[in-house]
Structure 1
Amino acid sequence: MRLILSTGVRRCGKSSLMLTIADELVDRGVSEDNIIYIDLDKHGYRNIKSADQLDALIEEKTMDIKGTKYLFIDEVQNVDGFEEVLNGFRSEDDYSIFVTGSNSYLLSGELVTKLTGRYIEFEIYTLSFEEYESMKLFYKKSISSNPLEELSSYIIDGGFPRSIQFDSVADR
């Protein structure tokens, strides 16, 4: 059906974007039972390292689901040969697949040759300075009246969204 690949550096918001898409599907009437979320960095899934293990896990989680299955796989680069698994499930009409990845392999041209057919890739970046300030306001964090001080905070935080939620550098 479709494959959407989200790439970018670690902690830039790929997983949050994927969860937002899953929430939006539910808001549009998709049953939560049809949404399968696998975070390969989490306890219980960290031991999934081969294509066969990933294939078996997906089969187990989707075998009783009727209709379109929305498969979300976070940090897919943790699995050797994941491309074969994605190509296999994508060829079935009842899968819509969303994946994230963060290593240089996923950002390289080699991925294009291994993922057959069409897919949509979104490269996610850290926040711009304007987005950083907007997000601080959203979280009700103060913004310095001194633009250089605020810019310094932005540079220290690196534009990573999660850093805004902490009050001091030591907390990060």
Structure 2
Amino acid sequence: MRLFKHKDCLEKIRGFYHDDGVIKVLTGVRQCGKSCLMQTIAGELEETGIREDHIIYLDLDRYGFYSVKTPDQLEALIEPALKIGGMKYLFIDEVQNVEGFEEVVNEFRAEGGFSIFVTGSNSYLLSSELATKLTGRYVEFEMQTLSFKEYREMKRFLGQEVDPNPVAELDRYILEGGFPKALGYPKMADKRAYVSSVIREIF
């Protein structure tokens, strides 16, 4: 599956891809594209020759992982990777689903040989014990909704027409709010309904 690349975000993170000393924390409002960004990072690692079995991807919102709620359950999922030699790349999407996840990710960071990436919504991660339990051991990358430039780039990526009139295009961008999924709906009424739903959920 082809994914739209958030070039600015990737540029900020790439220097940390192989750093097992700090946990990479990707935060941002709901539906801004954090999961796609993390999938893109995993894809870039594969493109550079990292073996598939060295990339451990856990989406805690997906079927098969949604029941993982405790630190012990999360630890049990990751533990088999200890047998793999060399650098492992651990991705945990929606990590806030596990209460007390900080202790688990810090445990594997301390073990060494794990470059760890986690995502979660700001409201969960920034109110958690992340700062106290991982002080100096994580770097946060806050992701925003699409910028106007990215909005136009993503439309081209999806094969959609970009209005040559930048003012008209800006009007559409403002109405859609920069949420990537809104671009998948052809009617403005559907786009607005989706964006309104996301905003209500955030609040």
TM-score, structure 1 normalization = 0.89
Structure-2 residue corresponding to 1:17? 37
Alpha-carbon distance between aligned partners in 1 of 2:128 and 2:54, rounded to the nearest angstrom? 32
Could you tell me whether the CA contact under 8 Å between 2:55 and 2:89 is conserved in 1? yes
Alpha-carbon distance between aligned partners in 1 of 2:82 and 2:148, rounded to the nearest angstrom? 45
Alpha-carbon distance between aligned partners in 1 of 2:59 and 2:66, rounded to the nearest angstrom? 8
Structure-2 residue corresponding to 1:8? 28
Give structure 1 regions of 4+ aligned residues with deviation exceeding 4 angstroms. Answer: 145-148
Could you tell me whether the CA contact under 8 Å between 2:102 and 2:129 is conserved in 1? no
1:43 to 60, 63, 74: 63
1:153 to 168, 172, 186: 172
RMSD (Å) for aligned C-alpha atoms? 1.9
User: Which residues in structure 2 correspond to 1:13-162 (within 5 Å)?
Assistant: 13-60=33-80, 62-108=81-127, 110-162=129-181
Deviation string 1:18-62 (CA, Å, 9 cap, x unpaired) is 1111111111111101000000000111111111111111114x1
Could you tell me whether the CA contact under 8 Å between 1:77 and 1:103 is conserved in 2? no
Aligned length: 171
TM-score, structure 2 normalization = 0.77
Alpha-carbon distance between aligned partners in 2 of 1:120 and 1:149, rounded to the nearest angstrom? 38
Q: Secondary structure at the match of 1:21?
A: helix
1:108 CA displacement: 4.2
Query: Unmatched 5+ residue regions in structure 1?
Result: none
1:115 CA displacement: 1.6
Could you tell me whether the CA contact under 8 Å between 2:54 and 2:84 is conserved in 1? yes
Q: Secondary structure at the match of 2:118?
A: strand
Alpha-carbon distance between aligned partners in 2 of 1:121 and 1:103, rounded to the nearest angstrom? 11
